[in-house]
Chain A
Amino acid sequence: MKNCEEQISNFINLNKRDLAGLNDFFGWSLNALELKEARDYFKKIKRAPFRGDIETIAQTWSEHCKHKTFSGPVKFKYRGRTKRYKNLFKETIVKATNKLDKSWCLSVFSDNAGIVEFGKDKKWGVAFKAETHNHPCAIEPYGGAETGVGGVIRDILGVGLGAKPVLNTDNFCFGRLDSKMPLPKKALSAKRIFSGVVDGVRDYGNRMGIPTASGGIYFDDGYALNPLVYVGCAGIIPRNKIHKKVCSGDLIVSIGGRTGRDGIHGATFSSANIDEDTSSAAVQIGHALNEKKVLDALLKARDLNLYSAVTDCGAGGFSSAIGELGEETGARVYLEKALLKDSKIEPWEIWVSESQERMVLSVPKKNLSRLKKILEEEDCEYCVLGEFTSDKKLSVTYNDETVVNLDMLFLHHKLPNIEKSAVFSDFKVSNKAPKKPKKNYLSILKDILAHPNVCSRHSVISQYDHEVQGGTVIKPLEGKYGDGPGDAAVIWPHASTGNMKDFSGFAVSHGFNPALGKIDPYEMAMHSADEAVRNLLCVGANIKKTAFMDNFCAASPKDPKVMGELVRASEGCYDAAMGFGAPFISGKDSFYNQSKDSKGREYPIPLSLLISSLAPVEDIRKAITMNFKKEGNLIYMLGMASCGMGGSIYNEINKSGNNFISALNIKEAVKLYGAALEAINKGFAASAHDVSQGGFAVAISEMAFAGGFGADIDFENMAKEKDISEIELLFGESPSRIIIEIEKENEKKFLSLIKGLAIKKIGVVKEDPLLDIKFCEKRLLKENIFILKDSWKRELL
């Protein structure tokens, strides 16, 4: 240690090897080029760095904070051609947003969350953001999940001048609970990670008084060592509070939690693979009550215009929060003023600590006493750390000792970029007719209903307070018995704005299917976007104003194959956004989701892309649910059934020998969805449900048992590809399909809306609780819906 500290004082003279050694010792996660850039900077200013200087650089330049892989240059080789991206993110996902240029996008890719217009009187915006907290959850599931939730809520509190959180979302990936995979020493079992993560989300989200009402759980052994925990939050913000501006002379005020030694190096730790000896000390400790006090105090102060800017202390702690807020001005910080929870803490540790529940405000001096009064009323602790200057320097001291003294320009604009290489080769695909299964269709359906990626999530959902704030009008569990699987959550935030006569709300849903990505990452992105849009449509949201969020998780970007998949998926995102006319408004990525066991074997995760979507629901009273409503109603199938079993649940259980993924035809999908939306808006549709994992048979079963009605179905009339097999009709997962229940008296009007489209009548709702599926009079399966429900309604936890 001593020797290494001496080396810092000799930093400007170190060679490549010594720099690398130092980097490993201190855990900075800087690469050779970055280390050289830092060394050259100090050489130029002719002094040795302080430890705090390099810690600040390491935090600011970390993958976690700068997303340098995704926004860096890439050389992509595919089908014998080479394509160069200067900035992959800007040339795919952001490009679509810029090209679409929607007037209802109020703030995109520039703040802690994206913001779109909300409500009928244009008074509001809704901010939306999702984050991952994968690395912490792998080693400390409960704490990792808690602080993940806490972190994304602070993103919403820190967007613009602060939004009020009204919805939490959570999407998890774990190893299979029945996995036989041999785990390395010290690794936690999937069951342990699963229950720890759910407990963490529950205890933090419930205490914050924010409904956790949207999400998903996905099991695959690829996540056994690297679980994924996507946490999202949506909040509403007055239109006139969307912009923040730090002014020179404003005070730097930290509010909320105290600073301790928990979570030192969280940002740099999540920018590297997890090793067997990774310490859980890098995981922060959450305390929801402190964050609730921050929320209450902050929104009060916001409405009194007491501060000019705010951001959250997330990765990198004060160093990132103050460094970012002061980028244009400069900042002077006196660390001895910080409130601490640990007396044995080094000044540089105060500076980079990721202790939770802290927000940094920029406060005009004249407002300080009024702000103090509010904070004291709410029992919320605070400290004045310094002020924003005009010298464009970041100067940090502890008493008389200098901790950091850097130029903002260097810190924020001198990150060197390395071109990453990416290659992709097409996967071998077969589209021959699926093999005849050993079991009959009914037992296959029951197996699929009980599959962990299909079965009921009630044992998780019911642990979340998904109705707090009194605004969850379409719930994750719905229908006659309150247990049907909802497609999207609809939030009506006006019980908490106080304007209970305004019935505008918004819907949130997700699309996620890594099984497709293992075969074709481009189609995975397209299909996921399609699924997200269909879910919104099924509740009656105005999908013409869909906003997307991308959230990528991948293994090490040093592997060109991983990068190749990323490029293909990003290209898919671009095409999906352009096709649906739906811009991405925010995004996030997490790399290095890869672990080594004691024998040195690598465990990378499959490329995982969560597409979250949000769209307005103009009148929440007209939103619809997915369960059958009435005997005699007509069942229509929207969209065409195509061949291909690639990435399906069926293929996981029965090897069909067919791994083809039918391509998404966006143009056709947009036409279909437009007609369906009109039908729902006009009140013709009683229910709608999308066909996704498990295929048609699963979707129709869910509609039936959630409503307590049976159904008679015949595929004869359904729009379908020529020579499609019974297996593909029942269990195929081809995209852009929705089952829609039309009231008999509205059928004529409905038919006039759908002329020339692939929308066909396939059956009728029955009082008798039997699901009877035929193909040209030939019975494929018949079963009591409550028996089907028994297969589906498993206790996951």
Chain B
Amino acid sequence: MRPKIIVLRGAGTNCDIETASSFDYAGGKAELVHINKLLSGEKKLLDFDIAAFPGGFSYGDDISAGKIFAVKLFKILKDFEKFIKSKRPVIGICNGFQILAKTGFLPENSGNKQVSTLYTNDCGHFIAGWAALKVNKKSPCIFTKDLPNEIQLPIAHGEGKFIIEDKKIMARIVKLNLNALTYIKNPNGSMEDIAGIVNESGTCFGLMPHPERNFFSYHNPDRPASMEKAHFRSGTGLKESKAVGYQIFKNAIDYI
């Protein structure tokens, strides 16, 4: 049975198709669902095994990134709480991470309150490029399992600076190794160089970088070096040159 993935979209979501393709390729069965269909009851969240919030500019990122989408979700908050509690994997990529932060699902807290935000980059504008990232090998994150210590993923965001006012919450994130991904060279001013965080059970993961854009090794700007490395690892030649992005999606599928 291929696990069923709900890829949630709304007006302005724009990484939905490639995110769905990535899950499909990794062995799942992804379905693009407009938030309006969850709100109307036409689709039910709990019918799915994995949930993904893809990147983009949901509702134009008016007010602040991901805010309007998060507000829309409040109407079906209970379903999401159940989904996360039952340890079904949830991934929020870029705008999806911003949504998870603004709903209060991440960082995890008892009242689902928004305790963090992703604020305008220190440079003041949108940035796109490849970032080197450190994988926290002690993290409970199921998505980053078996990844190398250091990976590369593209980033593309205007509001990616992860900030938390409450020092205790941040201390807890670091102590419990919930900071699954950190920047080696901080591009946006994030506290603790955080690029991605996870909840305690390791199943709800939010990250600013885009794993769907480093899915195959030939996505890397340093080709064919990246491809040779991939061939060497998998030993299967041109066709199977999968990169770390693939592994992140595959991990979620394997978990189910």
Interface residue ranges, A against B (CB under 8 Å): 202, 206-209, 287-289, 292-293, 296, 377-379, 461-471, 473, 475, 477-480, 482, 494-496, 498, 500, 620-621, 623-625, 629
- Are A500 and B21 within 8 A (Cβ)? yes
Residues of B within 8 A of A (CB): 11-15, 17-18, 20-22, 24-25, 34, 36-37, 55-57, 59-62, 125-130, 154, 156, 158, 210, 212-213, 215, 218-219, 221-225, 227, 238, 241
**Contact between chains at B241 and A463 (CB < 8 Å):** no
Q: A25 CA to B143 CA in the complex, in Å?
A: 66
* Complex Cα spacing A379 to B59, Å: 10
Name the A residues within 8 Å of B215 (CB-CB). Answer: 470, 495
- When distances are taken between beta carbons in the complex, the residues of chain A under 8 Å from B11 are 289, 292-293, 296, 378-379
State whether B222 touches A467 (Cβ < 8 A): no
Asked if A482 meets B129 with Cβ closer than 8 Å, knowing A208-B14, A467-B213, A468-B15, the reply is yes
Q: What separation, in Å, do the CA atoms of A378 and B16 have in the docked complex? A: 14
Given contacts A462-B129, A473-B218, A479-B221, contact A209 B15 (CB under 8 A): yes
A289-B59, A292-B57, A621-B218 provided; 17 other pairs, C-beta below 8 A? A207-B14, A207-B57, A208-B14, A464-B128, A467-B156, A467-B213, A468-B55, A469-B17, A469-B18, A473-B218, A477-B221, A480-B222, A480-B225, A482-B130, A495-B17, A495-B22, A500-B21
Q: Which of A464, A467, A621 contacts B241 (CB 8 A)?
A: A621
A377 and B22 CA atoms in complex are apart in Å by 25
Find out whether the CB atom of A621 lies under 8 angstroms from the CB atom of B238: yes
A599 CA to B17 CA in the complex, in Å? 56
Taking CB as reference atom, which chain B residue is nearest A620? B218
**Nearest CB of B to A153, in Å:** 13
Q: How many A-B residue pairs have CB under 8 A?
A: 122
Can you name 5 A-B pairs with beta carbons within 8 Å? A292-B14, A293-B12, A468-B213, A470-B15, A623-B218
Q: Name, among A208, A482, A494, A629, the residue most crowded by chain B CB atoms within 10 Å (CB to CB).
A: A482
Q: Which residue of B lies closest to A292 (CB)?
A: B12
Q: Is the CB of A475 within 8 A of B221?
A: yes
| Nearest CB in chain B to that of A164: its residue | B17
The answer on a CB contact under 8 Å between A470 and B14 is no
Which of A462, A479, A624 counts the most B-chain CB atoms under 10 A from its CB? A462
Q: Which of B18, B24, B158 contacts A470 (CB 8 A)?
A: B18
Give complex CA distance A494, B21 in Å.
9
- Quote the shortest CB–CB distance from B221 to chain A (angstroms): 4
Least Cβ–Cβ distance between A200 and chain B, in angstroms? 13
A296 / chain B contacts, CB cutoff of 8 Å: 11
**A208 vs B56: C-alpha distance when bound (angstroms):** 8
Which among B14, B56, B128, B130 has the greatest number of chain A C-beta atoms within 10 A? B128
Minimum C-beta distance from B2 to chain A (A): 15
A707 (CB) vs chain B CBs: closest residue:
B222
- Whether A495 pairs with B60 at a CB distance below 8 angstroms is no
Docked Cα-Cα span, A27 to B204, in Å, equals 60
Task: Report how far A468 CA is from B126 CA in the complex, Å.
Answer: 13
B28 to chain A, nearest CB (A): 13
Q: Contact between A462 and B127 (Cβ–Cβ < 8 Å)?
A: yes
Kindly report which residue of chain B lies nearest to residue A206, judged by CB atoms: B126
CA distance A287 to B125 in the complex (A): 19
Q: Determine whether the beta carbon of B224 is less than 8 Å from that of A629.
A: yes
Contact of A467 among B34, B37, B210, B227 (CB under 8 A): B210
Known contacts being A475-B221, A496-B18, is A378 close to B34, with CB within 8 Å? yes
**Contacts A209-B15, A621-B227 given: A479-B222 contact, CB under 8 Å?**
yes
- The answer to whether A377 and B125 touch (CB under 8 A), given A473-B219, A498-B21, is no
Taking the nearest CB of chain A, how far is it from the CB of B91, in angstroms? 15
**In the complex, A519→B238 CA distance in Å?**
48
Tell me the bound Cα distance from A478 to B223 in angstroms: 8
Q: Across the interface, name the chain B residue whose C-beta is closest to A708.
A: B222
Whether B126 contacts A465 by the Cβ 8 Å rule is yes
Alpha-carbon distance between A480 and B56 when the two chains are bound, in angstroms: 28
A482 to B220, CA, bound (A): 9
Q: Is the beta-carbon distance between A470 and B222 smaller than 8 angstroms?
A: no
The residue from A207, A468, A620 contacting B12, defined by CB atoms under 8 A apart? A207
Complex Cα gap A393–B26 (Å): 56
Nearest chain A CB to B92's CB is how many angstroms away?
A: 17
Residues of B within 8 A of A500 (CB): 21, 24-25
Contacts of B224 in A (CB 8 A): 624, 629
B60→A288 contact, CB < 8 A: yes
Judge whether A377 and B213 touch: CB under 8 Å.
Answer: no
A-B interface, 10 closest residue pairs, ranked by CB to CB distance from nearest = A209-B14, A289-B60, A470-B18, A495-B18, A482-B221, A478-B221, A465-B156, A496-B17, A207-B57, A470-B213
Shortest distance between the CB of A659 and any CB in chain B (Å):
38
The interface centre, meaning the residue of A480, A498, A625 with most chain B CB atoms within 10 A of its CB, is: A498
Query: What B residues does A461 contact at CB under 8 A?
Result: 128
Question: Is there contact, CB below 8 Å, between B128 and A467?
Answer: yes
Closest CB in chain A relative to B105 CB, distance in Å:
24
A289 touches B12 (CB 8 A): yes
Q: Give, as a whole number of angstroms, the nearest-CB distance from A289 to chain B.
A: 4
